[in-house]
Amino acid sequence: MSVRQALKQDLKQAVKDRDRTAASTLKSALAAIDNAEAVAAVEADPDRPMGEAGLGGDVARRELGEDGIAAVLRSEVAELRAALAEYERLGKAGKTAELRAALQVLGRYTAV
């Protein structure tokens, strides 16, 4: 099973279990992967604002491999760790507990 499939499967289970932290973390991770797969927008031709034949001109998304997905997840972990350090510095115990739980969720898919 690929990492993306595991994330989706675990998201379904987290929603069933009403585990808000896991569901939120997994949704964010999947969104980050989707964003990384987006292609750069091209500037529209002013003479053809709707693309070829008047259509919106859908563009195929890039597809990240397992290495690309792992890199995105490592980036998400780095952002969570930075936020955790900042909240610890500010003494926000509730938020630090939430961030630690999110890191634990992502730890299943990365070497945290």
pLDDT one-digit tens code per residue, 71-101: 999 999 999 999 999 999 999 988 999 999 9
pLDDT of residue 54 exceeding 90, the answer is: no
83 lies in some domain = yes
**Using one digit for the tens of pLDDT, what is the confidence trace for 13-23?**
999 999 999 99
The length of the chain is 112
In a domain, 30, yes or no: yes
Tell me if 112 is assigned to some domain. no
Provide the pLDDT for residue 109.
93
Q: What is the structure's pLDDT at 5?
A: 95
**CATH number of the CATH domain containing 85:** 1.10.1510.10
Instruction: Report which of residues 55 and 30 the model is more confident about.
Output: 30
- Structurally, the chain folds into a number of domains equal to 1
Find the domain containing 9 and state its range: 3-106
End-to-end CA distance of the chain: 20
Work out the angle at residue 75's Cα, subtended by the Cα atoms of residues 74 and 79, and round it to the nearest 5 degrees. 115
Is there a domain that residue 82 lies in? yes
Q: Is the pTM higher than 0.75?
A: yes
